[in-house]
Amino acid sequence: MDFRDCYGRDPEGSWRAPGRVNLIGEHTDYNDGFVLPFALAQGVTVTAARRDDGVLELRSLQSPDALRVTDPEPGRVTGWAAYAAGVAWALRKAGYDVGGASILIDSDLPQGAGLSSSAALECAVALALCDLYGIEVPRPELARIAQRAENDFVGMPCGIMDQSASLLCTEGHALLLDCRSGLSAQVPLDLTGLSLLVIDTRAQHELVDGGYAARRAACEEAARLLGVPALRDVEDLAAALRALDDPVLRRRTQHVVTDDHRVQAAVGLLRAGAVAEVGALLTASHLSLRDQFEVSWPEADVAVEEAVRAGARGARMVGGGFGGSVIALVPADRAEGVRAAVTVAYADRGWEAPRFTDAVPSAGAHRVS
C-alpha cells in the first residue's frame, strides 16, 4: 500500500527520522545533564501532502487504523496517532502556522524496544509539516517542540534526548548534548574492529505507565532538598549523599551524578580513539541503573552478564528502562559468540528469543524525496 492507494493522489514528499541508541548518560537529560546518543539506520518515514482544510489524515503501514483529526487537542487523540497529531498541535502552539496534511507513516523500528520509535515519529512528522508549509525552525527548537508534543499532548514527561538525537545526530558520530544549555558537539564514533550490538530483550517497555514519571519526580525532589536547580549541579556527591535522609533519593542522586561523569569520561575516550575502553563505562552505567536507579529488568541483566562473559568489552540497558534493549560493545570476532551466549541463556530460562542488530551510527532526520 502506498500514499496513492491511501489517499488517491500523489504525495509532495517523504521525510525520514531515525531511532537512537544512547551510548551513555541515562536519565540525565531531565536532570539538566549530559547525554551521548547516536542515530540508528532504522527509523520512521513519513510521506505527506498538504490539505487546505486544516485536517490531519493519518495512516500507518503498521496499523489498520485510519484517523482524521480536525482539531488536535490533548486528550482527544490516543495511541500512535497522538505522537503525530501532538506535533501539529505543538507547532501551532509555538506560533507556526502549519495547516492540514495527509500523512502515511512507515517504520522499521520495533516499537517498545527502547530505541525511540515515538521520537522518530514525532521528528519525521515535524520535518514534514515544516517543509510542506515552508516554515524554517532551527533543529534544537524543533526538538523542543516535539518534546512538548510528547510531554503535554501524549502525557509522557520525557526529557530532550530522544528528539535531539533524531534531529541533530550525524553519520559516524555520537551527539554530546548539554541538556541545560542545548549546546551540542559531534563526537566521532569509529567502530572499526568493534560491533555495537543492539539486543532487543523482547520485554516491551511502556514509559507512559508511571515508573519513568516517578523517577523524574524523585530526582526533582532530591534537587529541591539539596537546594540546587537540578541534580546536574551537585558538585560534591559525598556531601549530597550525606545530606539526603531518604535512601531512595540517595540512590537516584548517586546514579544521575555518576552517569553524568561517565558521559564526560566516554567523550574523552572516544576523542582519544580508545573506543573499546568505553566498554567498562557501559557496564558501570548498567550496574548503576540496575542498583541505584532501579529501572533495569531481568532480561536486560542476563543479556549484559552473558554478553560480558562471552567477550563483550561492556554492555548496558538503553533508554528509560523497564523493558527494551541492551547494547553491547563487542570486538568483531566475538560478536557471534556473544549472540550465541545470550540466545542460549534466554532459551535456558524459557524466555522469548532475543533479536540482534548491529548498530550503525547514522544520519539524523532528513528529507528523502
* 350 marked as part of a ligand binding site: no
Q: Least CB distance from residue 57 to ligand GAF, whole Å? A: 27
* 205 marked as part of a ligand binding site: no
Whole-number Cα distances in Å, 231 to 135, 213, 221, 246, 320: 36, 16, 10, 15, 17
In the complex with ligand GAF, which residue's Cβ is closer, 115 or 189? 115
> How would DSSP label each residue in 5-73?
HHHSS--SEEEEEEEEEE-S--S-GGGT-EE-EEEEEEEEEEEEEEETTS-EEEEETTEEEEEEESS--
* 183 marked as part of a ligand binding site: no
Of 32, 106, 162, 259, the active-site residue reads 162
In the complex with ligand GAF, which residue's Cβ is closer, 132 or 161? 161
* 79 marked as part of a ligand binding site: no
Q: Least CB distance from residue 162 to ligand GAF, whole Å? A: 5
Quote the cell numbers at residue 10: 500523489
* 14 marked as part of a ligand binding site: no
- The residues of the shown chain that bind ligand GAF, judged by CB under 6 A, are 26-27, 29-30, 158-159, 161-162, 319-320
* 102 marked as part of a ligand binding site: no
Quote the cell numbers at residue 329: 560493545
In the complex with ligand GAF, which residue's Cβ is closer, 146 or 312? 146
162 is catalytic: yes
Q: Least CB distance from residue 181 to ligand GAF, whole Å? A: 17
CA 245 to chain centre: 32
* 115 marked as part of a ligand binding site: yes
The three-class DSSP label of residue 341 is: helix
Per-residue DSSP letter, 96? -
Sign for the CA dihedral angle at 295, 299, 305, 308 comes to negative
Q: Least CB distance from residue 198 to ligand GAF, whole Å? A: 14
Which strands, in side-by-side order, build the sheet including 184-188? Answer: 34-35, 173-178, 184-188
Between helix 298-309 and helix 335-348 the angle, nearest 10°, is 140
Instruction: Check if the beta carbon of residue 63 is closer than 8 Å to that of residue 101.
Output: no
In the complex with ligand GAF, which residue's Cβ is closer, 159 or 279? 159
Q: For residue 220, is it left (φ>0), alpha (ψ between -120 and 50) or beta?
A: alpha
In the complex with ligand GAF, which residue's Cβ is closer, 30 or 89? 30
Catalytic residues: 162
Question: Known binding site: residues?
Answer: 26-29, 60, 112-118, 150, 212
Query: Which residues carry a binding-site annotation for Mg(2+)?
Result: 118, 150
